[in-house]
Amino acid sequence: MRSYLGYTLLAISSLLLAACGDSGKPAEPVAGTPVPVSTTFTVSVDAPDGMVLAANQGFSLISPAYANAVKHLTEQNFAAVWLDDKGKIFESIDITRLEAKGDGNYVLDAGTRARINAVLLVDLDGVPEYTLGESLPTGLLMTPLAAERLAISLESSLTFYALAQRVVADESWGVFTDVFESGAQGAVALALEDINKIAIDIRDTLFPKIGIQGLTLKDLMSLTIVQTMTEGRLERFFTEQSAVAANVLAILNDGYWEISASEGNQGKAIFADTTSYDGNETTISEFSWDKSGSEDITLTEVFTYFSNSTSFGSDDIRSQVLTNQGWVGLFNYLKVQFSTDRSALLTDAALNTDAERGVTLEAKVYALSGKKMHDFLSSKQNHYLTRYIEDDMTFSDGASGFYFTWRPENETYLLCDNTNDKDTCRAYPYLAPDAGFTSLDDIKTPLFNVGITIDQVNGFKLSDNIVAEFIGDDFFTVRYWSRIAANEWTIQDTGVWAPTTVSGKPVIRFDVPDVIKQLADDYAFNGRNLFLIEDRGFVNIGEVLLERAEFHYSGFDNDAKAQIFAAATRDNLPPFGECVFGNTSLANEGLFLNAVTECGGDERFTTQSVSDLTDKTLVQISEEGEISAHILRSDNSWDHYRNTLKETSSRAWSFTEEGYLKLFGNTNIEDEFDFWALTSYEYQQNLLAIKVFSQQGQQAQITNLMAREYLPGTLAACLDGDSGWDQTTATPVVKESLANYNNQVQLCKQIWFGRNPIFTEALLVGQSGDNRDDKALTFASDNEEGQERYLKLSDTFQGEYFLGSYIDKSGCGFNFDIRWKIEDDGTLYYESVDESYPMNERIQITDTDGLKLAIKAFNHQGRWQTDESLNYGSDEGEIWSDIVTLIDASSVPNVVPTEPPPPVQEETPPSGETPPPEGETPPAEEEPAGPPAGTILNDGEVCAFDVTEEQAP
């Protein structure tokens, strides 16, 4: 085991606290009527706000806290029952007194002493209903009455309900049979510790995946994810407790594996570490897969430690242990000092045997063949790996698991690394969180100055929702304040502290009550035995590892590890696509988390991915063809474009601890914002699938969107199949057909998951009937100064067409009117109004970055059709491509077209020609073969006439 911080204690008895319970009373029979007895129990009831409101038919938006104290309960909300040897309810237990303390704590007298099969039931919305002879009902909070001070929480309820269901299915209490039958108070206390430990594991693994708000407890218990994760965690516990003694030396010789995984705003990663010992040297090899891009899971060796040769420096210190020589930095790499078949002695790489800070190791082994992989990857450290493994995947023959037991040789005082002015271990006053305590005396509060409210408490945060207050009285009292609502605190429990000296240094020891450890949202330690010490100018808090106190952890043999990673692949993730799960117009954040979990693969926004996203464009196309785009800026503002035009507003974005982008459309309106959660990413086309939570005042909804990511300036026209242009003949190089044009458009079009960029009236017309928002198109290929061309559109409607004009800023030979329309497939079609010079053109969008449009066009000119030398058909012409930008039509310059000079009138016939006889009509002059060169109608680029020359008279 690499980390001393991993030593969790199963405290058989507290070092400082007296044992609770009335062990002098006789045990109740296993069945039949229990011996009359009464015990006073103090119970705190905590549940998520959203669930409490759902039980009372209320509605909640985002709640600031996961769980709040339930303070409105009365006697009718409580009941207690006995479970028999098969897990069925066989009798009720009398509750003779119940007193509500008003802060979520209740004191009750029940007709039992502490027993694992005596169960307290709570219905948040009425009287608990149950049936004798049946199993425990769903939809109730519950806990075994196994200690005189208890906490009922969602995790404890889910855990004990799953345990009772297993007992019913097995018709046996299994590993709890002895404690069920004997009722010995020490065994009952240890059983409750086990149940609470499983409950915390379930909380840490399950709750990040589910939302609570708006669900009743019965609804929650019916969710498949809840059932599979609670049942799986119990399967692992029962299997580990039934394991048989193993040969430790053989395990070390072969090597064993620890598997872990992580997910957070820093990214995802999977780790596999193997530890082996050849009788001389300990080797620890570390492998990892850091989620990046679309590559599949491939473990890469990142570091190997050899106990006889690997050296470390001060930068490698991860924690410290107090010795007679002062603090010794630990490297969190262990070495085996010696091993027998039965046990091994290990120390940290920084220590030696003389330091007497080692641990003994024992092991049990169990077969995994036929058991579900998910069940044995159910810890806080490794459950993220299960997303890559099929739900029903089982181990095959040869796979084994190990259940290791560690015991410290001596009492050990462990502190995190606080060198180089690190503040990780410091205790900060609750009322002055930026100024750490500097002496142990500062921690103590004189009895006459004890706080009445949390705002008067001279305490420090033990976790986010727990404050410890040390009182300088004759009883060395510690009061533990618990936040029971957003800004409401109460004294949840009391304990004791003790001054002592360790290696010549003054220390304050205290043992955190189990109920406080259960209620702590983010408890930073594994055990309950803690200490305070002055070091480097500040008071620091650490953990005490007690001699002979046990800590357990799990491992795998080589076969099991190989089977796990043979089964783990990104191919088992949901395929990329639309996910409408959870979409609703009556949303809250809990329902949003459920939707994100259900729709999620292995993608999420991370600190790095969000940084990489800045200044890129995220394009969306609606079913109606509306094009919109978001651009996150590095200054935490963001731009929004609708139909390629930027919308003005004061916008801001942030990245939340939950991995959401929070987008404010107007920074002046705080209760209107969106959460974006990335649920999947398609790397071939740079597509993002996003779940959206939109709050508008007191209303919220959940939707989903899909966006495509574009780098700035990367939108390109698709030139495939273009005709090319011959300047000398003013004709296409290759004659193309309309049918071939349509084929080329489809080959070039970037259509992703039904998102087809097309022209729409909303894109080109704006608000119908309002000429102030008319649009025009500019063409990237006409970007030379003075040569710009514009396709000016209006929403003036005439017949089947809108009206418009085609304008060349140079004024060379044209400024002609057009009529235009949008065809059913989203094609922009326009033609010249002047039928003497017929032309028509159709344009389709092939791609868009939300700011500009890539197009492919087909142009047909009447002169190509009438010119016998060209011989064009009515459906033949030129294919060309470009990038166009939409601008306001009012910004198109007014252009006066340059007219060609009039033809020279010859008064006398040229020599050699005879005028027609008097009275005869002269022959008609030939009409020009089309428009002058240099007009849009023949696509010439220069004028064929020089307007600067003076014409002959």
Residues 6+ apart with CB under 8 A from 151: 43, 44, 46, 143, 515, 518, 519
Separation CA 528–CA 516 (nearest Å): 9
Residue spans of alpha helices (H) in 867-950: none
- Residue type present at position 921: T
How does pLDDT run across 448-475, given as a tens digit for each residue? 888 889 999 999 999 989 999 999 988 9
Q: What token pair was written down for 825?
A: 């497939």
Gyration radius of the chain's alpha carbons: 39
Residue that wins the pLDDT comparison between 15 and 803: 803
pLDDT score recorded for residue 782 = 82
Other CB atoms within a 10 A radius of the CB of residue 677 amount to 25
| Cα–Cα distances in angstroms (integers) from residue 250 to residues 301, 348, 387, 501, 553, in the given order | 24, 21, 32, 41, 18
According to DSSP, residue 332 is labeled: S
pLDDT score recorded for residue 47 = 86
How does pLDDT run across 817-837, given as a tens digit for each residue? 999 999 999 999 999 998 878
Separation CA 684–CA 681 (nearest Å): 9
The residue-averaged pLDDT of 773-797 equals 87
pLDDT of 939 > 90? The answer is no
Mean confidence (pLDDT) of the chain: 88
- Residue type present at position 128: P
β-pair partners for 261: 270
Q: How many residues does the chain have?
A: 953
Separation CA 24–CA 40 (nearest Å): 15
The residue-averaged pLDDT of 353-364 equals 85
The residue-averaged pLDDT of 55-65 equals 42
Other CB atoms within a 10 A radius of the CB of residue 500 amount to 11
Residue 614 buriedness (CB in 10 A; 0-12 / 13-18 / 19+): middle
pLDDT score recorded for residue 305 = 97
According to DSSP, residue 32 is labeled: S
Picking from 456, 419, 460, 421, the residue whose alpha carbon sits closest to that of residue 442 is 460
3-state secondary structure of 907: coil
Picking from 655, 656, 657, the residue whose alpha carbon sits closest to that of residue 610 is 655
Cβ atoms of 602 and 291 closer than 8 Å:
yes
pLDDT score recorded for residue 548 = 86
Q: Please, which pLDDT band fits residue 585 given cuts at 50, 70 and 90?
A: very high
Residues 6+ apart with CB under 8 A from 321: 4, 327, 328, 330, 348, 351, 355, 357, 412, 413, 414, 415
Please report the DSSP string for 351-402 in residue order: --GGG---EEEEEEEEE-BTSBTGGGS-STTTGGGGGGS-TT-BB-TT-EEE
pLDDT score recorded for residue 176 = 96
Q: Quote the longest CA-to-CA distance of the chain.
A: 148
Q: Please, which pLDDT band fits residue 713 given cuts at 50, 70 and 90?
A: very high
How does pLDDT run across 879-923, given as a tens digit for each residue? 999 999 999 998 998 877 776 666 666 555 555 556 666 666 665
pLDDT of 6 > 90? The answer is no
- Interstrand relation of 359-367 and 400-408 (parallel, antiparallel or unpaired): antiparallel
pLDDT score recorded for residue 896 = 73
Phi-psi region of 267 (alpha: psi -120 to 50; beta: other; left: phi over 0): left
pLDDT score recorded for residue 874 = 93
pLDDT of 416 > 90? The answer is yes
3-state secondary structure of 79: strand
Separation CA 10–CA 13 (nearest Å): 9
How does pLDDT run across 483-512, given as a tens digit for each residue? 988 788 999 999 999 999 999 999 999 999
pLDDT score recorded for residue 15 = 29
Picking from 436, 531, 427, 516, the residue whose alpha carbon sits closest to that of residue 480 is 516
pLDDT score recorded for residue 766 = 75
Cβ atoms of 373 and 554 closer than 8 Å:
no
Separation CA 301–CA 310 (nearest Å): 16
Separation CA 426–CA 418 (nearest Å): 8
pLDDT score recorded for residue 59 = 39
pLDDT of 941 > 70? The answer is no
Side-chain-side CA neighbours of residue 151 (13 Å): 27
Separation CA 157–CA 425 (nearest Å): 33
Lowest mean pLDDT among 42-56, 338-352, 489-503, 632-646: 42-56
Cβ atoms of 363 and 251 closer than 8 Å:
yes
β-pair partners for 321: 328, 414
pLDDT score recorded for residue 794 = 92
Separation CA 857–CA 723 (nearest Å): 11
β-pair partners for 346: 336, 359
Which long-range CB contacts under 8 A does 126-133 form with residues at least 24 apart? Answer: 126/76, 126/77, 127/76, 127/77, 127/79, 128/77, 128/78, 128/79, 130/79, 130/81, 130/89, 131/89, 132/89, 132/90, 132/91, 132/92, 133/88, 133/89, 133/90
Q: Please, which pLDDT band fits residue 8 given cuts at 50, 70 and 90?
A: very low
Picking from 264, 212, 238, 258, the residue whose alpha carbon sits closest to that of residue 53 is 212
Please report the DSSP string for 783-852 in residue order: -STT--EEEEEEEEEETTEEEEEEEETT-BS-EEEEEEEE-TTS-EEEEES-TTS-EEEEEEEEEE-SSS
Lowest mean pLDDT among 48-52, 229-233, 480-484, 665-669: 48-52
Separation CA 825–CA 772 (nearest Å): 27
Q: Using a pLDDT cut of 70, give the percent of the chain over it.
A: 87
Residue that wins the pLDDT comparison between 391 and 903: 391
How does pLDDT run across 76-113, given as a tens digit for each residue? 999 999 999 999 999 999 999 999 998 999 999 999 99
How does pLDDT run across 241-298, given as a tens digit for each residue? 999 999 999 999 999 999 999 999 999 999 999 999 999 999 999 999 999 999 999 9
Kindly report the backbone phi and psi dihedral angles of residue 286, in degrees, each rounded to the nearest multiple of 5, phi listed first. -110, 130
pLDDT score recorded for residue 835 = 82
β-pair partners for 495: 478
Cβ atoms of 271 and 286 closer than 8 Å:
yes
Residue 645 buriedness (CB in 10 A; 0-12 / 13-18 / 19+): middle
Separation CA 594–CA 897 (nearest Å): 64
Kindly tell me the number of DSSP H helices and DSSP E strands found in the chain.
15, 50
Kindly report the backbone phi and psi dihedral angles of residue 194, in degrees, each rounded to the nearest multiple of 5, phi listed first. -60, -45
pLDDT score recorded for residue 926 = 53
3-state secondary structure of 690: strand
Lowest mean pLDDT among 435-444, 531-540, 831-840: 831-840
Give Cα 329 to chain centroid, integer Å.
35
Residues 6+ apart with CB under 8 A from 634: 614, 615
Picking from 863, 870, 877, the residue whose alpha carbon sits closest to that of residue 929 is 863
How does pLDDT run across 651-695, given as a tens digit for each residue? 999 999 999 999 999 999 999 999 999 999 999 999 999 999 999
Residue that wins the pLDDT comparison between 421 and 163: 163
- Interstrand relation of 661-664 and 672-682 (parallel, antiparallel or unpaired): antiparallel
The residue-averaged pLDDT of 327-339 equals 93
Kindly report the backbone phi and psi dihedral angles of residue 340, in degrees, each rounded to the nearest multiple of 5, phi listed first. -120, 180
pLDDT score recorded for residue 48 = 80
Other CB atoms within a 10 A radius of the CB of residue 948 amount to 5
pLDDT score recorded for residue 2 = 32
Helix (H) / strand (E) element for 306: namely strand 300-306
Separation CA 702–CA 61 (nearest Å): 12
Cβ atoms of 427 and 437 closer than 8 Å:
yes
pLDDT score recorded for residue 893 = 87
Other CB atoms within a 10 A radius of the CB of residue 58 amount to 11
